[in-house]
Every structure is written in structure tokens, then in C-alpha cells.
Amino acid sequence: MFYLSQDLDFPNPSEADLDGLLAVGGDLTPERLLLAYNMGIFPWYENNQPILWWSPNPRMVLFPEKMKVSKSLGKLIKKEVYQVTFNKAFAEVIENCSKIKREGQGGTWITDEMQNAYINLHKLGHATSVEVWRNRILVGGLYGIDLHEKKVFCGESMFSLESNASKVGFYYLVSKFAEKGYKFIDCQLHTAHLESLGGEEITRIEFLKRLDS
């Protein structure tokens, strides 16, 4: 495990331990966060912990052309039950994501410090949100880091206050980036939810090759 100094650098992601933990410490400045994501590294920690930096193996990704749209989701999209926007309520989306209770986690990893850091990245044009509305009420959404030059979107978190609302938002996100020629959506870690949408695991080596290709 590496302990970061104030210098703006990271060890090679291949030096992460078996759980994917690579380094401890540093800060959440835009420069460090963008360097991390461009190297295939992301922060993930809780309030009572120092900043922890990860590069897991395997890595969960979704290739836009492989997204699975179930019959029920397809019908929901066609009915236009929800209205979907981009970058209209970033702060509200990340706040809602922080409130979602997740299995196996005692508290949220989207701390106030993390929220402020990503809101700052959003203001600088590096973080994107998707909002899902019903009757002008925010009922779902997601956010992540947009690596414009690499054509990769790094998904961070999603929330849903109504069944399938976040899936609708994810569908529109994938469709938008597919049109822009993005290579894949980085989903970081495996979940059954992401797998149901077409996500798959690849090795860290393959992930890093695709990230830099």
C-alpha cells in the first residue's frame, strides 16, 4: 500500500492489493481526481477513514452496444412516463445518491467532502449528471466523470425513488455517449443491477489498455 504525499502522482494501478486498494491519503483537488480517473483509479472511503484510492481487478464495464433493455424497460421508455435531463440538478443528484442505503455499508461513502469535490468538477465541466423527473419531481438519477479525450464515462453512483427510474436515466446516458462514440462506461465494481443492464467484468490489464487506446 502506498501513502500519498502532496506531490501530484500515483503508483502504477497494477500495484494495487488483492482487494484493489492502491493508495491512501492525498486530497480531492480537481487535478488529483482527474489524474486518478485518467489512470483508472478512483476514491472510495467512508467518513471515519482517510482517502482510499482503488483500482480493482476485475473491473466492471458496460460497452454501449451491449446494453440490455428488457421488455418492461423498453415499454417504460416508449411510454415517456419520465422526463430525462442532463446537468440540470447535479447537486441534488449527488445528495440523493448519498442518502441511499446500500447493503454491507454502515454509512455513505459520498461524504460532504466528496460531494463538494464532485460539484466542483461539475462546475469545471468534468462531471455529468442525469436527472429523471416525474411531474417536475426528481425521482432518479446518476452522476460520474466524463473523460472527454479518452471517450470514457466513469459512473459513480445512481439513485431511484421509483422503480426503474434510475434504469431509464442510465439508458439515456448510454444512448447519449454511444452517439458520441464513447468506448465504454466504467462501472467500477460488479453489482447484479449493472449486470442486468449489460455490464461485464474485464481484467484490470484489459481495462487499462482500453482506457488508453
- Indicate if 72 and 114 belong to the same structural domain: yes
Residue 42 pLDDT exceeds 90: yes
Residue 9 pLDDT exceeds 90: yes
Strand order in the sheet with 52-54: 2-4, 21-25, 52-54, 42-43
Phi and psi at residue 179, to the nearest 5°: -60, -30
The predicted model gives 193-200 an average pLDDT of: 96
Q: Is 43 helix (H, G, I), strand (E, B) or coil?
A: strand
* Residues 189, 82 contacting (CB under 8 angstroms): no
Q: pTM here?
A: 0.95
Structural domain boundaries enclosing 18: 2-54
End residue of a domain, out of 54, 72, 90: 54
CATH code, domain with 26: 3.30.70.3550
Query: What would the grid cell of residue 38 be?
Result: 485518467
- Indicate if 156 and 108 belong to the same structural domain: yes
